[in-house]
Structure 1
Amino acid sequence: MSTTRTQVLDAVPVEAFRGTFAPADPVRAEGATLPPGWEGVFFPFAVALDDLRPDGTPARDGILPEIDLPRRMYAGEDTVFPGVLRVGDVAAQTATAGSLVEKTGASGRLVFADIERAIAVGGEVVVRSTWHDVFLGAASGPARPPRTDPAAAAEAAWIDEVTLDARQLFRFSALTFNTHLVHYDRRWARDEEGLDDLLVHGPLLRILLVDAARRHAPDRRITALRVRMTAPAFVDTAIRLCGTADASRVVALGPGEVVLATAEVAWA
């Protein structure tokens, strides 16, 4: 299954993201280069209310088949940037179902689903990504202990820190039309998903990882990105973004040196 949508990459959502998450970045008027990762504020979820699952994620989106598991999470992505997007471009995104793999883990049945996305301008693909989602059964019992990595901070060439509050999570949900309840409904997050608090969006953390790399290599161009989510990041909790000297790897750490996510970045 596949869908194609066309959208003008106008300055309004770009400025909304910048003003909320990257105030030190310059204002980007029409014609300015869109930073890699920021394409994530465009092509928001486009699913009718009746086609949402109880948790607020898409059930019937014209791309993936309907999957009979109650929880859905973003697990990461693999993206290449063969070209450059600019504010004001008229872009077409084609999203196609990729691989669908069912497994049984410690917590029961899981389904790993890929979505292939290509963004083209003037018929030329400038961003191509494979988005990885995972579908899970109902939360039951304590989660397995998360992976820790004390060396990520101890050996980092630089560390940036960010703490996201509920206002920022709301704004990102609004920007991307993301109705997943884990980002704004504490009762749902705790009682239904077994989480400690509101969850920071994986796609938001992905952009923050890329932005950190970009700040520490300002004269280079990102050509590829590999992101993996490994543990939940929570609202009102400090996240340290720990990078290598060449900004080719950034690790997001939570309290207790828990690895929340990793990003591997390739540069031109």
Structure 2
Amino acid sequence: MIARTSVLDLAPAVRFAGTFAPGEPVEAGAALPPAWEGLYFPFDAPLAGLRADGSPAGDGLTPPDAPPRRMYAGEDTEFLHPLRWGDQVEQRSSLTSVVRKEGRSGPLLFADITREFVVGGTVAVRSVWHDVFLTAGGAAAAAAPVTGEAPAGDWAAALSVDIRQLFRFSAITFNTHRVHYDRDWAVEVERLPGLLVHGPLVRILLLDALRAARPDLSITHWSVRSRSPVLVDAALRIVGRGTDVELYDGGRLLARGHYRSS
């Protein structure tokens, strides 16, 4: 287990709100919106501790023999108690599962990283991050353009993330994964059509859209699965149906979130 302690200061949240959530109140002592804990405890691997793709290695959370390409596959989070700006929080991180499989393009490694956010000895938020590692040279999943429209839902919202926002989120989280800023790497090495929007950012934006559409909800569990690459400058549509929140690019489902509330 790796433990780090930090005070939840306002600065990361103010920067995020100014970039993605104008009008969201950020005040000392107030509760963080669910999923905004992801703005804290940024990556801290030294430059010498990065893989060729810019993601961490040798951090105790990345399998040492993992294949070279890394992709965020989703996350499962329990919101047990509110986190508040000004809290002193201990983050406990562990590599809790490693599974190897054989895929169509070669070996795959699935890794789960569990992060607990602890205040005064009590776990406030528990999140399990799912990563998949792939061999070099394989094609990105579902990268071909798809025409059509997102299905109807109970509510919907439009979304597009531009390159300035990608840069800012990388800066807030100290994320040096090259798929988010190095277009040549993203296209030529990762075989993506363009720069990739951060999966942890998509997680927050989907839940923010849900909160805006359903302010009556108190979210206790939030699960997200990535289905296809989310690309910079794409015209995206978020659709809420029942307890599902889905992200579409045209008629293609890119990600699906599912929530439970109290």
Structure 1: gaps (5+ residues): none
Within the candidate set 146, 158, 166, 2:155 is matched to: 158
- Aligned positions of 1:208-219 closer than 5 A: 208-219=205-216
Higher deviation after alignment, 137-146 or 213-222: 137-146
Distance, in Å, in 2 between the alignment partners of 1:141 and 1:201 is 18
Q: 2:100 aligns with which of 96, 99, 102?
A: 102
Task: Tell me which of 238, 241, 258 is aligned to 1:241.
Answer: 238
The whole-number CA distance in structure 1 between the counterparts of 2:140 and 2:106 is: 13
Q: Post-superposition shift, 1:46? A: 1.2
Alignment deviations for residues 144-164 of structure 1 (CA, whole Å, 9 cap, x no partner): 57798979x333111111111
Rounded Cα–Cα distance in structure 2 between residues aligned with 1:163 and 1:64: 31
- Write the deviation string for residues 62-93 of structure 1: whole angstroms up to 9, x where unpaired: 22331241101111011101100111111000
2:140–2:192 CA contact under 8 A, matched in 1: no
Contact 2:142/2:228 (CA < 8 Å) preserved in 1?
Answer: no
Q: Which amino acid aligns with 2:237?
A: R
Equivalent residue for 1:29? Answer: 27
Q: Distance in 2 between matches of 1:5 and 1:156?
A: 41
Match of 2:248 in 1: 253
**What SS does the aligned partner of 1:231 have?**
coil
SS at 2:222 equivalent: strand
TM-score by length of 2: 0.95
Q: Following TM superposition, by how much is the alpha carbon of 1:106 offset from its aligned partner in structure 2, in angstroms?
A: 1.4
| Structural mapping, 1:124-203, within 5 Å | 124-141=122-139, 143=141, 153-203=150-200
Count the aligned residue pairs. Answer: 262
* CA distance 1:181–1:142, change in 2 (3 Å): closer
Equivalent residue for 2:85?
A: 87
The equivalent position to 1:121 in structure 2, one of 119, 122, 131, is 119
SS at match of 2:24: coil
In 1, Cα distance between the equivalents of 2:147 and 2:244?
Answer: 14
**Cα distance change on mapping 1:262 and 1:147 into 2, 3 Å:** farther
- Is the 1:146–1:259 contact (alpha carbons within 8 Å) kept by the matching residues of 2? no
Question: Identity over aligned residues, as a percent?
Answer: 50
After TM superposition, give the deviation of residue 116 of structure 1 in Å: 1.0
Quick check: 1:15 aligned with 2:9? no
For residues 137 and 199 of structure 2, what CA distance do their matches in structure 1 show? 19
Question: Could you say which residue in structure 1 is the equivalent of 2:260?
Answer: 266
CA distance in 1, matches of 2:255, 2:139: 23
User: Conserved in 1, the CA contact under 8 Å of 2:141 and 2:229?
Assistant: no
Q: Secondary structure at the match of 2:186?
A: helix
Q: In the aligned structure 2, how far is the partner of 1:214 from the partner of 1:60?
A: 37
1:5 corresponds in structure 2 to 4
2:183 counterpart of 1:222: no
Which AA in structure 2 matches 1:16? R
- State the distance in 1 between where 2:168 and 2:12 align: 11
Corresponding position of 1:64: 62
**Structure 1 residues 141 and 126: alpha-carbon distance in aligned structure 2, compared to 1, 3 A threshold:** closer
Moved more, 133-142 or 92-101: 133-142
The two structures have a TM-score, normalised by structure 1, of: 0.93
1:157-191 Cα offsets, whole Å, 9 max, x none, are 11111111100000000000000000001000000
The verdict on how the C-alpha distance between 1:214 and 1:147 changes in structure 2, with shifts beyond 3 A counting, is farther
Tell me, in whole angstroms, the C-alpha distance in 1 between the residues paired with 2:32 and 2:140: 41
Q: Is the 8 A contact 1:163 1:235 kept in 2?
A: yes
CA distance in 2, matches of 1:218, 1:89: 24
Residue 60 of structure 2 contacts residue 95 of structure 2 at CA under 8 Å; is this kept in 1?
no
Of residues 98-107 and 139-148 in structure 1, the stretch that sits farther from structure 2 once superposed is: 139-148
RMSD: 1.8
CA deviation vs aligned residue, 1:195-225 (integer Å, no higher than 9, x gap): 0000000000010011111112212211001
